[in-house]
């Protein structure tokens, strides 16, 4: 345990937040006359939705295997559990398989079998998967990943969401699915200027959905995806029908300081509230150092993540172990190949630093209702509580945080990576959560943009 004074200082450090300033794009005046036709052509080109295929060079894969083989390992932890971090034997087993058994080409083929596209929004390329249901009345849905997740989190939900009949559902519960990579993650572009926080990403997501021809849609997210969906809800653009969250921001304002300070749970809390209080107190006191590093020094951690595949694997695997509903053994719910698909994506796109910068931009308390301005959200909000999420949001807190709460459900299995761990259950929750909104969706004609044919 940390000494009391050190723990208090650490908690105060984690609690502090600063808003990053946003720098607008400068428009350069050029000599000469730019015709209206030329300007229109340039705009059309920048708005274009282009087909996208992934092919990582063989040289990159060879380099990866050489680096894995040359790993210098630290000495073994001096405890019998994960209290000092992910254990040496677990990481060594994973990395050994990464170097000698895992095949990235299978992951690449899995992604390339889906309709993939890329488009430029606000100066940054956004890569996304877009799968339309065969049901012409399907509800458009945008799914947003978090860290250390990616598009891979949602692949097993595409079938149940777009073709529910094949998975025990009803045709009227169909979704068209759009799965973008957050800027700085995966094959999306890496921002080169400040300001790409949740609000700006939310605005980009609305542009994306409208560019695809959707006049209405719903949004779902966990981790960063929850924060971005909250931002979309606050933005409330025309056509956004509602949002679904599996990591909602429900902590009441009077409890934020006691949680960060490591205080005992105050009197008067219900059992679910006390459990949530204690879970978050433990998280911020013992398990949030990774976030403090990424929030304050994303460039520094980026050097490790850009240079060492074994370091990248350990950095990410620790969260799979801690946050899945697996009792610390993520292989019980995710295969080694699934985890390495995700780890390899971060490594091969060299997005350790750029993905960490999203934490720097989002220097805020993602669990605080006040920090996330949840009462500003007017669209219907749905919440599903998974039992091994970082904390289980009590219904009382959810109702207070989100006045427009329209759906609240507690399920019996799944963790932080809900869609990845329990794709069928996750899909069933989305069907139930958004079913009441389909009437308003059908009242607005849904169109398809001729630019994409999607």
Active site residues per annotation: 223, 359, 416
Residue 294, exposed/middle/buried by CB under 10 A (0-12, 13-18, 19+)? buried
Q: Which residue, 257, 322, 282, 222, is CA-closest to 15?
A: 257
Sheet bearing 116-121, strands edge to edge: 49-51, 116-121, 124-131, 175-180, 139-144, 217-221, 240-245, 381-385, 405-410
Cα separation, 432 vs 282, in Å, equals 32
Question: Helices in 187-308 by DSSP H: which ranges?
Answer: 198-211, 224-235, 253-261, 271-282, 289-296, 298-307
Q: What angle do CA 373, 379, 385 make, to 5 degrees?
A: 75
CA of residue 308 relative to chain centroid, distance: 23
**Side-chain half-sphere of 15: how many Cα atoms within 13 Å?**
18
Give Cα 153 to chain centroid, integer Å: 9
Place of tokens 């509230």: 273
Contacts of 284 (CB under 8 A, 6+ apart): 11, 14, 15, 259, 260
In terms of phi and psi (left: phi > 0; alpha: psi -120 to 50; beta: otherwise), the region of 382 is beta
Q: Are 438 and 406 in contact (CB under 8 A)?
A: no
The tokens describing 306, both together, are 């850009």
Residue of 245, 226, 191, 182 lying closest to 365 (CA atoms): 226
């Amino acid at each position: 345990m940390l000494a009391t004074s050190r723990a208090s200082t650490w908690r105060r450090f984690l609690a502090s937040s600063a808003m990053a300033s946003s720098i607008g794009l400068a428009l350069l005046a050029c000599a000469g006359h730019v015709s209206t036709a030329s300007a229109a052509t340039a705009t059309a080109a920048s708005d274009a939705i282009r087909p996208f295929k992934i092919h990582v060079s063989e040289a990159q894969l060879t380099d990866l295997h050489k680096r894995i083989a040359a790993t210098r390992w630290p000495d073994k932890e001096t405890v019998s559990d994960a209290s000092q971090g992910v254990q040496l034997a677990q990481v060594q087993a994973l990395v050994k398989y990464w170097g000698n058994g895992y095949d990235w080409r299978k992951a690449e083929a899995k992604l390339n079998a889906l309709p993939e596209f890329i488009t430029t929004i606000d100066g940054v390329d956004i890569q996304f998967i877009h799968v339309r249901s065969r049901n012409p009345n399907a509800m458009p849905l945008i799914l947003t990943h978090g860290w250390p997740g990616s598009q891979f989190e949602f692949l097993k939900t595409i079938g149940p969401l777009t073709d529910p009949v094949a998975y025990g559902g009803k045709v009227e519960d169909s979704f068209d699915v759009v799965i973008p990579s957050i800027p700085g993650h995966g094959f999306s572009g890496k921002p080169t200027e400040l300001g790409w926080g949740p609000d700006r990403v939310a605005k980009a997501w609305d542009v994306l959905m409208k560019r695809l021809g959707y006049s209405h849609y719903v949004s779902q997210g966990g981790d960063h995806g929850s924060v971005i969906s909250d931002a979309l809800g606050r933005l409330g653009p025309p056509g956004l029908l509602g949002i679904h969250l599996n990591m909602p921001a429900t902590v009441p304002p009077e409890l934020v300081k006691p949680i960060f300070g490591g205080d005992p749970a105050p009197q008067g809390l219900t059992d679910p509230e006390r459990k949530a209080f204690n879970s978050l107190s433990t998280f911020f006191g013992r398990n949030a150092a990774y976030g403090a590093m990424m929030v304050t020094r994303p460039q520094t951690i980026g050097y490790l993540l850009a240079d060492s595949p074994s370091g990248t694997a350990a950095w990410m695997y620790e969260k799979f172990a801690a946050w899945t509903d697996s009792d610390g053994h993520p292989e019980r719910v995710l295969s080694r190949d699934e985890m390495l698909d995700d780890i390899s994506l971060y490594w091969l796109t060299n997005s350790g630093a750029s993905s960490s910068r999203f934490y720097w931009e989002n220097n805020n308390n993602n669990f605080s209702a006040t920090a996330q301005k949840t009462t500003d959200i007017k669209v219907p909000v749905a919440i599903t509580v998974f039992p091994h999420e970082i904390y289980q949001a009590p219904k009382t807190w959810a109702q207070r945080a989100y006045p427009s709460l329209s759906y609240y459900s507690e399920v019996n299995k799944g963790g932080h990576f809900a869609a990845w761990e329990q794709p069928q259950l996750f899909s069933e929750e989305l069907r139930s959560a958004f079913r009441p909104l389909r009437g308003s969706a059908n009242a607005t004609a849904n169109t398809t943009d001729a630019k994409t044919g999607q």
